[in-house]
Amino acid sequence: MLPGAAEVTDQFRLDGRIAVVTGASGGIGSAGALALAEAGADVALIGRNRAKLDAAADAVKAAGRRALVIEAEVTDEAAVNAAAAEVEAGLGPADILFNNAGITSPRLLADLPLDEWQRVIDVNLTGAYLCCRAFAPAMQARKHGRIINMGSILSGRGMATRTVYSASKAGLANLGAALCFELGPHGITVNTIGATVIVTDLNRELVRTQPELYGEVVRRTALGRLGEISDVTGVLVFLASPAAGFITGQTLYVDGGYTAG
């Protein structure tokens, strides 16, 4: 082994860290939880689907790490605060927060009712705000933390029929950019993953049978494909690790070059 090789590898380890993943019952959330566990972190999984949360927790345990399942809605302030207390009691104070919970509503403006607009904003943006506010104090007390928001290629640009989603993801990225100044003096980094369309079990069949829905994204992508979950999980572990300790306030686009043009 070359001199220093072990030290470089160690920069990507999360041994002894406690990670919190919201939206952990979804494809990206459950895979993100497992990736963090494989890097050495114990993981609290927050979501609404108990069966899927339990399955994700089993995968974390199979990786040799502790797992804690919490059924909670990220838009519920009391539930989020209770989850933070439960994580600290069950695993320890959180070191890593992955704000992954999110929904969309692909509608034209004229067809987008106010209650649906509010629901997407509540989950995608207000939910992240509530989680940051609940979990950051423990990080501040220990002068260390990583907050990673699940953004989008639409964090920095718009798309027809994605009005509220674009607004929520732009807000999420700028929430991170603002919080980096507030939390940076406490040793906490805040970054956003600007992901392209990621193929998951939820949309895989749709991508296969109706490629025209995603054709424009693929045509604008330098690498000529949509994203896979593994494209996101590696970046997640990097941003959570000591290797990314001097990166904060950034939106790191994981998009195959979509936003380069």
Active centre residues (catalytic): 165
Radius of gyration of the chain (CA): 18
Question: 180, 130 in Cβ contact below 8 A?
Answer: no
Question: 32, 17 in Cβ contact below 8 A?
Answer: no
Question: 26, 104 in Cβ contact below 8 A?
Answer: no
Length of the chain in terms of residues written: 261
Question: 101, 75 in Cβ contact below 8 A?
Answer: no
Pairing verdict, β 251-254 and 67-71: unpaired
CA 39 vs CA 14, 82, 149, 234: distances in Å: 5, 27, 19, 10
CA gap 194, 207 in Å, rounded: 20
- Write phi, then psi, for 43 (nearest 5 degrees): -135, 130
